Structure 1
Amino acid sequence: MSDLKQVIIVRKRRKAAHAHHGGVWKVAYADFVTAMMAFFLVMWLVGAGTKQQRAAISEYFKNPSMTQGQSTMSPSGKMGPGGASTSMIKLGGALDLPKGPGDQQAFAKPNSAEVDKLAREQEKRRLEQLMQDLKEAIAKSQAMAPYKDQLLLDITSEGLRIQIVDKQNRPMFDTGSGVMKSYTVQILHELAGFVNQVPNSISISGHTDSAPYIRADSAYGNWELSADRANAARRTLVEGGMQPGKVARVVGLAASVPFDKADPAAAINRRISIVVMTKEAARAALSQEVANEPDVPEAPATPHPAEQEHLGAGVPDMPASPAKSTVGSALPAPRASRRS
């Protein structure tokens, strides 16, 4: 029996697990988040109000009873200023809050004058952006770099004006002709894509210098020549991808609106002017009432080069051309001593 080994049994006591909380802490956390959200909402609403409104809120909490209060801007209570308000809480956000005395009318439907003003401002910004895009494209384009001094951009009351002017040794057209030089075609093809970026209509006008141009048949002069060149510009823009329906007017102004008033015979006066018109200008250009007015002056005004360009209203009647000119058609040599 002495050889038997004593068996020792060790019993380990297991520690009881912690009792489950049952998700009570989630309810407390949700209440905390809700309270914080309500706090920040109150702070935001107070910050969105005016000084008078904050004074009214302060007075309300000081005197929330039905008796008379001393608020500088009272809520609509049953018993007059300072009383408890019976109005429902608006849930539309800060836009539902009046911004100051008399601002109840600020949320009324805007009238037509305000709508037109906003539309004009938006249109002006769009044209200014188009002019900026054009300037950047001209500056970056290697193909147009040699001609950038012949492209003049400015904003007039009628819209964005793009003028392509002649240089002494780099004319846009053949002498006394509506046939374009190859680089003029390239410039107009580049411009066509930019003109398509905006929905505005355009007006195209042709200009010559003051040198008289008389063709052999004596019925073709600077008026017809400037009109043919303007129409050639229209065709070239369409060939470059411009939508044909964008053209509202094509006119020839001969030498009636010189760019350089001091020297009407200067080469810079020979130019093509493309105006990306505002809606108001386009409406006036296409208005039959304006066209039929009996008191329209017979001679176009001569504005400063920086001002708007006359787009043909009241231009004297041009002598009828014996035949419709076509780009590429040969013209008899001019008899004038100077070119247009």
Structure 2
Amino acid sequence: MDKPIQPIIIKKVKKAAHAHHGGAWKIAYADFVTAMMAFFLLMWLISMTTQEQKNGLAEYFAPTTALSPSASGAGGMLMGTALDTSGKKSSAPRDTAKGTTKQEDGAQRTSLGRANDREVSRPAANEQANHSAIASIRQALQKMPEIAELSRNIVIEPTKDGVDVSLVDQDGRSMFPEGSVQPYERTRLVLEAIAPTLRRLPNRLSVTGHTAAARPGSVRAVEPWSLTTGRALAVFEILSGAGLPSDGFVSVAGRADTEPVSPDNPYLAPNRRVTITLLNAEPPLPPNLFR
């Protein structure tokens, strides 16, 4: 008896294709990498800028107010008038017997209010100008690598009077030979390096010499008033020889040891210094001052 023929069954399994996930993750990853690069670039810029440059940038983007900072109503919302004791706005006319009319008085008040605005904004303008001057002087010094070793001997800082550029003695390195009014050659190079920058700036200058106090029991080779005055004059002569006009200087003086930079220890070397001060601009005179 023949065996029945067994049918051959072939199973074909079809694999389903995965769904397309899209490229959104690539865009998100690219945004993340860009943000991280910008973050590290910002950190690098912050670490490379000085405190003066940061202050200058902050002041540049600081919002300014449109209202008059004057305490009076001149030039502001009250247009030069004030409130009387009863709380009503004073509208009484000026005494015409004194030679002024309401229109003239209003014009004078408006002019005074503008002058007050200029006086109030003057410190901010001086501060911004001082930051720019400091940056310019430091840039001029950075162009001379041969005086890089004197970085601790050159102190540049803003003060209430303007900007001080001080040539300061340090332990182991002085800017003037002991007892001499003539500076070292390296000191002369520093002064000649900053002279072109000082010549371009609008500030008037003052030069002041200082020295340290004598230790008890020691004998001075040179009288301190003569020494500090002579060193200030030597700095003045070097700057004048480098092109600064003489009428750009306000004073050249010596202070001996009367103004130590370290009052607690007047014997320290940094008390021996010559300071060039870039003076702030003088405030404008009020109108009708000499009438």
Q: Give the TM bin, normalised by the shorter chain.
A: 0.5 to 0.7
| Match for residue 153 of structure 1 among 156, 176, 187 | 156
Does residue 224 (structure 1) correspond to residue 226 (structure 2)? The answer is yes
With the length of structure 1 as denominator, give the TM-score of the two structures.
0.48
One-letter amino acid of the structure 1 residue matched with residue 230 of structure 2: D
Q: Is 2:198 the partner of 1:195?
A: yes
Alpha-carbon distance, 1:184 to partner: 0.5
Letter in 1 for 2:272: R
Q: Which amino acid aligns with 1:235?
A: E
* Distance in structure 2 (CA, Å) of the matches to 1:180 and 1:245: 23
Task: Provide the rounded CA distance (Å) in 1 between the counterparts of 2:138 and 2:193.
Answer: 12
* Match in the other structure for 2:268: 266
User: Does the C-alpha gap of structure 1 residues 213 and 159 become closer, same or farther in structure 2, counting only changes over 3 Å?
Assistant: farther
Aligned to 2:261, the other structure's residue is in SS state: coil
TM-score, with structure 2 as normaliser:
0.55
Paired with 2:78 and 2:186, the residues of 1 have a C-alpha distance of 60
**2:122 pairs with 1:119:** yes
Task: In structure 2, give the amino acid aligned to 1:249.
Answer: S
C-alpha displacement of 1:103: 4.3
Of 142, 146, 153, which aligns to 1:143?
A: 146
More helix by share: 2
Q: Does 1:247 align with 2:252?
A: no
5+ residue gaps, structure 1, are 1-101, 284-340
Write the deviation string for residues 183-233 of structure 1: whole angstroms up to 9, x where unpaired.
010111112112112222111110111126645xxxx51011101101111
- Find 2:279's aligned residue among 277, 301, 311: 277
Relative to structure 2, which stretch is displaced further, 158-167 or 117-126?
117-126
CA distance in 2, matches of 1:210, 1:111: 49
1:153 partner SS = strand
Q: Distance in 2 between matches of 1:188 and 1:168?
A: 21
- What amino acid does structure 1 have at the position aligned with 2:201? V
Alignment of 1:231-242 (within 5 A): 231-242=233-244
The answer to whether the Cα contact below 8 Å between 2:181 and 2:234 also exists between their aligned partners in 1 is yes
2:77 and 2:276 map into 1 onto residues whose CA distance is: 45
Q: Name the count of aligned residue pairs.
A: 178
- Contact 1:213–1:221, Cα closer than 8 Å, also in 2: no
Instruction: Tell me, in whole angstroms, the C-alpha distance in 1 between the residues paired with 2:264 and 2:252.
Output: 27
Following the alignment from structure 1 to structure 2, what is the Cα–Cα distance between the partners of residues 193 and 168? 30
Aligned residue for 2:250, secondary structure, equals strand
Letter matched to residue 264 of structure 1 = P
CA distance in 2, matches of 1:213, 1:239: 35
Question: Following TM superposition, where does structure 1 have runs of at least 4 consecutive aligned residues deviating by more than 3 angstroms?
Answer: 102-106, 212-215
1:169 to 155, 166, 172: 172
Q: Which amino acid aligns with 2:146?
A: A
1:127 Cα deviation after fit: 1.6
Q: Alpha-carbon deviation of 1:138?
A: 2.8
Residue 145 (structure 1) shift: 1.2
Task: State the AA in 2 paired with 1:121.
Answer: A
Q: The residue matched to 2:233 in structure 1 has which SS? A: helix
Give the corresponding residue for 2:188.
185
State the superposition RMSD in angstroms. 2.7
What's the % identity of the aligned pairs?
23
- Specify the code of the residue in structure 2 equivalent to 1:266: L
**Deviation (angstroms), 1:104:** 7.5
State how far apart, in whole Å, the 2-side matches of 1:280 and 1:113 are: 14
Q: Is the 8 A contact 1:202 1:277 kept in 2?
A: yes
C-alpha distance in 2 between matches for 1:133 and 1:144: 17
State the alpha-carbon separation in 2 of the partners of residues 262 and 214 from structure 1: 21
Where does the alignment leave 5 or more consecutive residues of structure 2 unmatched? Answer: 1-75, 81-109, 286-291
Counterparts of 1:139 and 1:191, CA distance in 2 = 10
Alpha-carbon distance in 2 for matches of 1:120, 1:194: 22
- Taking the aligned partners of 2:225 and 2:277, their CA distance within structure 1 comes to 19
CA distance in 1 between partners of 2:241 and 2:279 (Å): 21
